Structure 1
């Protein structure tokens, strides 16, 4: 029988550690590292059943993919029920998931913590990066003065190479919060190195449109990482901004039927702004810029965190969206000029960006707005006419990952665990090198 045991949960001031002990048949999906998550305030008074949530939230989807049972000493009763609801949603989404059972020696229902922040109880919090989605959610909930929560462990890894990116993100979020009198919370975790994410990708990439964490794990996983912090701060509502919107039925790890089910004692989670398309979220931001924040800058780039590169697909897509919402991109973080429309068309037609159905829907949303918009220049007119006429499905089909990546994944899937573990550093280095080469292009 496949099993995963969560063992020896310990806390030292603001740092949580625990061991993950998988049975041999699922061991390849775990690196052997101790699971570690750190917060910016003490969590020593948080009950063990809440402390188990971060690791359970990230391990359970791996268990469900393998039909494995998970064992833990203590768990919050509300979260245990939440896991059943999230499992049902994920199993309904993916045929390759098998399910599994959580076994706990004790379930607890602790009273919510009543700790206050600087003398004022924090009633809500928002996962925040400063991008379109999270900024729109802040605009929608700004009357609540939510604490802004940023997490290191997914797009910014715990590796020293990402220290600068994390510092840049923290500085930007702190500046945004200070200008508005908001609290911040920063969470750091080695979740994607405690899990063997390259092996998960190798085994399951063929079943999903994105990577393992984006397609399966990140809604439950990121919210779960926040549980000890939320309990310690007395946060009742935790918002995560929607990526997609109503009418897009994509297999994705953060959706209303996942995030809205996540809960633990004292806290409920909310998938926010799902009723708005990305362009409508930019409209909401544009209204906020006009009324309250004329110098607001967005940060959407995945290449850098100290500003936007202005040349990647996401930067170009956001800049076009800003123009369609009546904002000048150069005033809000994007050095965009009319001739960049030619660069976007060339990159899309040439397959220079690896696109999925996610991006296809984003560009379709832009195209819908283009049909209602009078272009302001000849270059813009030419791009709008091309976008209205082009087959977006063909653009996505032409933008496949390179063959070298597919070969690495296939090799990892079919390599015995002991052999793979010995070769893993080399495989990872090769893959990172290929990624760097592609990003330079």
Structure 2
């Protein structure tokens, strides 16, 4: 059994730094300085340490369970401590083929309570999922929580974060809401590649997707939620019942999370992606259209990646112009989208085709009289994704035979080096 010990929680105005130690068998999974931090746009000196401990615990507890280790801390909030058993059980049900052990050792469990003064806070990236949740709960006047977790040891300038932050602030101003802005290194302080090398085959998923990101994202704003006395933190769903997959952000996990007097709700799980596009489009019919930010880690919508394309086609299928929602498109839209789709389809998975693209085609057939680009209908409604993917893959492999071989060799060499670290 390994050990992770939180040695120090250092608070300076709007920032909290966690310094911890780990046993030698676990050190390979962490950067050498063993340091996690969060920086907020609110001062947190009045937040109890038992609450401040929650983000740290959330980021390392899945690894504790995965490696049958012990996590030792001085103080922890009672509501959160109690919910960990249910969260662990939800993970175990999601991953029945791997046993999750490990435990948390707490010297002092503290009961924190408050009367809620803010009804809702919503994690807000500006993407379709987040915007859909905002539309559904806008009457609650939610705080908008926007995060960037990809810093290293300290905050550094990031064009992506600046774009996300500015978009969130502009959005909040438009609807007379308040922003909660969070910067951290929760995406980098753990060596995900090393964990994946040891566990991904057994787990059937990656560390970040299967175990880490949900708890990391949800726990980051909890100190502010406690400070401002928030009743519920909403996180938008990424998946739907159309696709039963393992994922660290899932209603069976998220809805179990509790902190002091607050709770978490995984919103919109009953909706597929095309349903969410319809929510966005229907809202815009009676209000100004909301611009969505689809590209992850990009400053703007590139309008050529799979995620951008599926959103563009989805909006068109609902009878609207994608440019009203933040997508910059050329005049020869049909020809341009055909070229981009032919170029990207080789990367599509069977799952993506099934749960996204076939639904878009069905919706476009249903709404064909409302579609603003009739020439697009001439080819898209009969577009055979499986056949076109096979053709594109064959062409790609023939044209890139040598680079592909070189890349595979490079990946194998990198993996060997990684295993030696």
Q: Tell me whether the two structures share a fold, i.e. TM-score over 0.5.
A: yes
Aligned partner of 1:172 in structure 2 is 167
SS at match of 1:52: helix
Indicate how the Cα distance of structure 1 residues 272 and 23 shifts in structure 2: closer, same or farther if over 3 A, else same: same
Indicate how the Cα distance of structure 1 residues 159 and 278 shifts in structure 2: closer, same or farther if over 3 A, else same: farther
Identify the match of residue 383 of structure 1 among 380, 384, 388.
380
The gaps in structure 2 that reach 5 residues or longer are: 398-403
Aligned partner of 2:314 in structure 1 is 321
**CA distance in 1 between partners of 2:140 and 2:14 (Å):** 26
**CA distance in 2 between partners of 1:290 and 1:136 (Å):** 15
The two structures have a TM-score, normalised by structure 2, of 0.87
Aligned residues: 405
After TM superposition, list the pairs within 5 Å mapping 1:70-81 onto structure 2. 70-81=71-82
Q: Say yes or no: does 1:414 pair with 2:419.
A: yes
Aligned partner of 1:13 in structure 2 is 13
SS at match of 1:71: strand
Identify the match of residue 189 of structure 1 among 155, 166, 184.
184
**CA RMSD for the aligned pairs?**
2.9
Residue 155 of structure 2 contacts residue 184 of structure 2 at CA under 8 Å; is this kept in 1?
Answer: no
**CA distance in 1 between partners of 2:66 and 2:337 (Å):** 42
The two structures have a TM-score, normalised by structure 1, of 0.84
Aligned partner of 1:31 in structure 2 is 31
Q: Say yes or no: does 1:231 pair with 2:226.
A: yes
Indicate how the Cα distance of structure 1 residues 327 and 18 shifts in structure 2: closer, same or farther if over 3 A, else same: same
**CA distance in 2 between partners of 1:316 and 1:133 (Å):** 16
Q: Say yes or no: does 1:58 pair with 2:59.
A: yes
SS at match of 2:383: helix
Aligned partner of 2:251 in structure 1 is 256
Residue 203 of structure 1 contacts residue 413 of structure 1 at CA under 8 Å; is this kept in 2?
Answer: no
**CA distance in 1 between partners of 2:350 and 2:385 (Å):** 19
Query: 1:246 Cα deviation (Å)?
Result: 2.1
**CA distance in 2 between partners of 1:256 and 1:392 (Å):** 33
Q: Say yes or no: does 1:43 pair with 2:48.
A: no
Residue 309 of structure 2 contacts residue 341 of structure 2 at CA under 8 Å; is this kept in 1?
Answer: no
Query: 1:205 Cα deviation (Å)?
Result: 4.0
Query: 1:138 Cα deviation (Å)?
Result: 0.2
Q: Say yes or no: does 1:282 pair with 2:277.
A: yes
Aligned partner of 1:372 in structure 2 is 366
**CA distance in 1 between partners of 2:254 and 2:335 (Å):** 40
Query: 1:210 Cα deviation (Å)?
Result: 6.2
After TM superposition, list the pairs within 5 Å mapping 1:328-343 onto structure 2. 328-336=321-329, 337-343=333-339
Indicate how the Cα distance of structure 1 residues 69 and 160 shifts in structure 2: closer, same or farther if over 3 A, else same: closer
Indicate how the Cα distance of structure 1 residues 21 and 71 shifts in structure 2: closer, same or farther if over 3 A, else same: same
The gaps in structure 1 that reach 5 residues or longer are: 115-120, 421-441
